[in-house]
Structure 1
Amino acid sequence: MSDEDRLRQAQAAMDRRDFVTAYEALVELQRSGLLDGEGLYALSDAAWWLGLIRETIEICEECHERFLAEGQVDRAAMVALETGMQWAMRGEPDVGSGWLSRARRLLDGRPSSVGHGYLLWIDAEGRFAAGDVDGALAGAVELQRLAVELDQPVLGCFGLALHGMVAIRAGETSRGFELLDEALLPVLAGRVGPAESGNLYCQMISICTDLGDLSRARRWTEATERWCDQFSSAVMFTGICRVHRAQLLRVQGDWDEAERAAAAACAELADLNVEAVAEAHYEIGESRRHRGDLAGAAAAYEQAAALGRLPEPGRSLLLLAEGRRDQADASVRSALAEQADPFRRARLLAAQVEIACRRADVATADAATAELEAIADTYGSPGFTAWAKTARAEVLLGSGAPADAVAPLREALAAYRRMGARPEEATTRTLLERAVAGAAAPPAAPGGLTAREWEILCAVAEGLSNREVAARLVISEKTVARHLANVYAKLGVPSRTAAAAWAHQEGLH
């Protein structure tokens, strides 16, 4: 076969996304010294899809120099950008930053190009991660404008996706998902390259998972897996999909299968994506903890931590499972003190409620539940809402109000069933049985009040303030106020004074 035939074969293989055939043909051409800058770029692309990351970076560096020698500055800058992102994903941000700086210098003062768009996207994503929402939104809007100017749909996709992320973080969840859905339209129409398509699919799954929207995360994970099946090899995206699949399997209670999927992802992505590998180790820890393999879970959490993933709330719940309740309390408090992101706080707050209730610390559980309820109200996430309902029920059970816990537990149970969250469904069913049994007991106080409501009413009738009642009963003032509202409703009285007078008539005890 002639070199020209090999080149045509390689180009045809790249077009049909047969990266194995393309790689083999391009390697032969490289050995013959017949690849120009574009040929080297195609070889680096094929190597990347095959998961040969070290070889990819070496070829990219050679390709970058070749483009500069050929006078193709924009192409050289684009390769520098991609090389920088590859180093960053491998967990070497300093090297990555150097390559991004080189790309920025090469593009400075040149006419607008795709490279400028990618730099704009990277900067805007960085602002979003740092909490600069206004800066991120401005970048997203500019990306959409630049996409039209340059007729580059991929930039518009990135801009819309980032705009959607910003909207969701602002509590405009429905609007945010509309923008994300729109961002994926060019992907579905085949107008965006495979690497960029994979990135957008991953962004969609990640935000669904972060929000606890398991049904949506499951649909997009399945769609991405089908998309990966188009390729002869797609190591990066297949590995990331395995991590998301492990998360879903763990939530479903398929802990053995979840661990196998996460372990496969660790092997596939070892040199490619340190953040995804860290998440996979955390998932292994979660599956082991649920199975009761506490020592194995601790080891997996440590591996996740070594790669930069804070192993929470898993590590705090592991301490609780080991019977170290005070250490679990301190651990989750420390994690919350360092975490401002509401999506991550939601998980930590749910864990704090569980830990606090096991310690009979109803005041802490109540405060954590109130914050979790606020997050659920803001984002309308099915997962957050179910967690908040369960947390509120646990507080009510701990406060001696099992009847009031029945309704939120039934709502949470239905939500977990819809999401396919079997372990949470089983736990919630147990709590519901406990609440129903407690509510069916003979009334312990006059007027249909629960024992806790009568206790609070008697304290109020003694002249105690809400704060003093809370201190006496070791609960929060919000819990006192909530019980008093129930008291007023049950007794049909309009005020604190009238409720106290009713209590005196019934005889304080």
Structure 2
Amino acid sequence: MPATPAPTAPAHEAYARREWLAAAQHFESSATTGTLTADDVTAWSRAAWWLGRPDEALTLAERAYGQLRDAGREEDAIATALRIALVRATRGDVTVGAAWWRRAQGLLRDRPDGPLHAYSTYLDTSLGLTTDGSTWSPSSVARLAELSRSVRSPEVEILSQVVSGMAAIATGDMARGFELLDEAMLGVVTDELEPEWGGDVLCTTIHACHELADLRRMSDWTRSTEAWAARFGSDAVYAGVCRVHRLELRSIEGQWPAVEDDLVRECAALEDGNAWIAGEGWYQLGELKRHQGDIAAAREAYGRARSCGIDPVPGEALLVLEEGAPGRALSMVKYALEGRSPLARVRLLRPGTEIALAAADLAIAHVWAEELRGAARRWTSPGFAAWADAADGMIALRDGRGDVAAAFFSAAVDYHHRHRQRCEHARALAWLAASYDASGNADAADHARDMAAEQFRTLGALARVTVDVGGTPDTGPLTAREAEVLAAVAQGASNREVAERLFISDKTVGRHLANIYVKLDVGTRTAAAAWWRDGAGARARE
């Protein structure tokens, strides 16, 4: 007489076919009519995770852990505890994730070395769960190298390559770092690593590419990750992660109308399952809206990025600068830089230099520009070099060295054009135009400014063709933007007319005027206009 199939057989069959929704539904139905085994609950948990249901997946995984522990299946219990720690940390719940990691560590302590020790070490060093909070530490590199030699397992080798690669990048050895990461990524996309962990490795590598401004490599590995994720079904959580990365890249390239709605949908769907990736997507949306001049929408997107654990500076600080509060923007950048690693600081230094110059803090502008140039040399990143060119160009322009500034900005313009970073390209053109103005090359300035304006127009961005390098002898204590506002006011323009002329909001015009009154120690629009006509404005017209 043939054996009666187990009640959960259809669920396991659907799970084997990677039909996650069908598997989860079968397990749920079976749970109402009988008791599920630890293996049933584990499979149900993993199906829920693939569907992007982290709360359900964690509840089931914790239930499976208890069943496995009670059944004396210690190795499976440890693997489950580590998976819980990974999922908890990935969604931003690091404290509880660390507690589960410590539980797994306690169970591993007296066991002979094996793959689980490698997973534990990777989790420890990638998330900084140790007491000193360090990531990619030399001790973790050494430990995983030791495990790789003794255990001889593809999965241990991959984890060792990732940790060694990230540690090499942290010390500035880009070539070696990406050589190791690229090798590890090949192992992941050929299914040599458990998929939950493989997904984390993929995200770690793509994030490293983004941090180092290596958008070409980021694009290549995003395509490979998309192909990998597709094997697990279109509803799998990492399919959404890939879509966010792809949308980030398309947004940087200026494909704004095509990505805006998709970014909102994908980020909202990922907030519970992978908060950090969702936060990166919300930040990119904030940048898009800031460039479009939609202040309220930009603030909302930056706020959602912050709620996901992503600091929205420098974008949020640049928004504050554009609203006419350079001092506050500078404070935001200084606060954001505190406690960051040398590599994590780099992305803030170019906008930080611009903000410092607008706030007339020349000393900190020079310090940050020098740090950025040093980072470009240390990490041999062409993207960092382009940012350093822009920062050095801003300082040269502020010092009145127009020819020097033009050379720096020409290099930045070329980089952003070659890498299809359209908004960055347009902004660099605007700075180049100002540099040509300062060097007396009016025709070249007009050409660069026209190119910038056309680029902004086709993007649907505010036409930011003027730049602000802080107060100059011609404008006294006023920034370049404040001088533009006051010059228009002195000509009789209303706030609305000034806003339309300079492509800014009425509210921003009002903020600039308030700052002007304080700097000039006047109390009325008429007095400020008289100051301009009789003093700085007259000198500027000479």
| TM-score bracket for the superposition, by shorter chain length | 0.7 to 0.9
**Displacement of 1:3 after TM fit?**
6.4
Kindly report which structure 2 residues correspond to 1:258-269, keeping only aligned pairs within 5 A, or say none: 258-269=259-270
Equivalent position of 1:417 in the other structure: 417
The 3-state SS of whatever aligns with 1:4 is coil
Equivalent position of 2:484 in the other structure: none
**Displacement of 1:250 after TM fit?**
2.9
Q: Is the 8 A contact 2:413 2:425 kept in 1?
A: yes
Counterpart Cα distance in 1 of 2:360 and 2:69: 68
Q: Is the 8 A contact 2:172 2:378 kept in 1?
A: yes
Q: Name the aligned partner's letter for residue 83 of structure 1.
A: I
Counterpart Cα distance in 2 of 1:323 and 1:390: 22
CA separation of 1:137/1:302 partners in 2, compared to 1, >3 Å: closer, same or farther? same
**Displacement of 1:75 after TM fit?**
0.6
**Displacement of 1:312 after TM fit?**
0.6
- CA distances 1:433-469 after superposition (whole Å, capped 9, x unpaired): 3334543559xxxxxxxxxxxxxxxxxxxxxxxxxxx
* Pairing 1:404–2:401 present: no
The 3-state SS of whatever aligns with 2:192 is coil
TM-score relative to the length of structure 1:
0.79
The 3-state SS of whatever aligns with 1:91 is coil
The 3-state SS of whatever aligns with 1:184 is helix
Q: Is the 8 A contact 1:228 1:234 kept in 2?
A: no
Kindly report which structure 2 residues correspond to 1:249-398, keeping only aligned pairs within 5 A, or say none: 249-336=250-337, 338-359=338-359, 361-398=361-398
Q: Is the 8 A contact 1:74 1:113 kept in 2?
A: no
Range 42-51 or range 230-239, more displaced: 230-239
Counterpart Cα distance in 2 of 1:282 and 1:72: 43
* 5+ residue gaps, structure 1: 443-471, 474-509
Q: Name the aligned partner's letter for residue 39 of structure 1.
A: D
Equivalent position of 1:223 in the other structure: 224
CA separation of 1:320/1:13 partners in 2, compared to 1, >3 Å: closer, same or farther? same
Equivalent position of 1:89 in the other structure: 90
CA separation of 1:91/1:179 partners in 2, compared to 1, >3 Å: closer, same or farther? closer
Counterpart Cα distance in 2 of 1:387 and 1:128: 33
Q: Is the 8 A contact 1:259 1:284 kept in 2?
A: yes
Q: Is the 8 A contact 2:118 2:159 kept in 1?
A: no
Q: Name the aligned partner's letter for residue 96 of structure 1.
A: G
Equivalent position of 2:200 in the other structure: 199
- CA distances 1:213-258 after superposition (whole Å, capped 9, x unpaired): 1111122122222222222245432332233234323322233444
Counterpart Cα distance in 1 of 2:411 and 2:263: 32
The 3-state SS of whatever aligns with 2:92 is coil
Counterpart Cα distance in 2 of 1:3 and 1:88: 41
Q: Is the 8 A contact 2:165 2:177 kept in 1?
A: yes
Equivalent position of 1:232 in the other structure: 233
The 3-state SS of whatever aligns with 1:272 is coil
The 3-state SS of whatever aligns with 1:308 is coil
**Displacement of 1:361 after TM fit?**
4.9
The 3-state SS of whatever aligns with 2:271 is coil
**Displacement of 1:26 after TM fit?**
3.4
Equivalent position of 1:454 in the other structure: none
**Displacement of 1:49 after TM fit?**
0.4
Q: Is the 8 A contact 2:189 2:225 kept in 1?
A: no
Counterpart Cα distance in 2 of 1:180 and 1:280: 23
Q: Is the 8 A contact 1:239 1:264 kept in 2?
A: no
Range 397-406 or range 235-244, more displaced: 235-244
Equivalent position of 1:121 in the other structure: 122
Q: Name the aligned partner's letter for residue 15 of structure 2.
A: M
Equivalent position of 2:15 in the other structure: 14
Q: Name the aligned partner's letter for residue 411 of structure 1.
A: A
Percent same amino acid at aligned positions? 33
CA separation of 1:356/1:120 partners in 2, compared to 1, >3 Å: closer, same or farther? closer
Q: Is the 8 A contact 2:115 2:155 kept in 1?
A: no
CA separation of 1:215/1:305 partners in 2, compared to 1, >3 Å: closer, same or farther? same
Q: Name the aligned partner's letter for residue 351 of structure 1.
A: P
Q: Name the aligned partner's letter for residue 375 of structure 2.
A: I
Counterpart Cα distance in 2 of 1:323 and 1:437: 24
Aligned length: 442
CA separation of 1:276/1:57 partners in 2, compared to 1, >3 Å: closer, same or farther? same
Counterpart Cα distance in 2 of 1:214 and 1:128: 29
Q: Name the aligned partner's letter for residue 228 of structure 2.
A: W
Q: Name the aligned partner's letter for residue 311 of structure 1.
A: P
- CA distances 1:256-277 after superposition (whole Å, capped 9, x unpaired): 4444333223321232233333
TM-score relative to the length of structure 2:
0.74
**Displacement of 1:151 after TM fit?**
4.1
**Displacement of 1:76 after TM fit?**
1.1
**Displacement of 1:362 after TM fit?**
4.5
Q: Name the aligned partner's letter for residue 289 of structure 1.
A: R
Kindly report which structure 2 residues correspond to 1:94-243, keeping only aligned pairs within 5 A, or say none: 94-127=95-128, 132=134, 136-243=137-244
Equivalent position of 1:497 in the other structure: none
* 5+ residue gaps, structure 2: 443-471, 474-542
Counterpart Cα distance in 2 of 1:278 and 1:396: 35
Q: Name the aligned partner's letter for residue 157 of structure 1.
A: I
Counterpart Cα distance in 2 of 1:279 and 1:270: 11
Counterpart Cα distance in 2 of 1:184 and 1:441: 50
Counterpart Cα distance in 2 of 1:332 and 1:45: 41
The 3-state SS of whatever aligns with 2:5 is helix
**Displacement of 1:64 after TM fit?**
1.3
**Displacement of 1:384 after TM fit?**
1.0
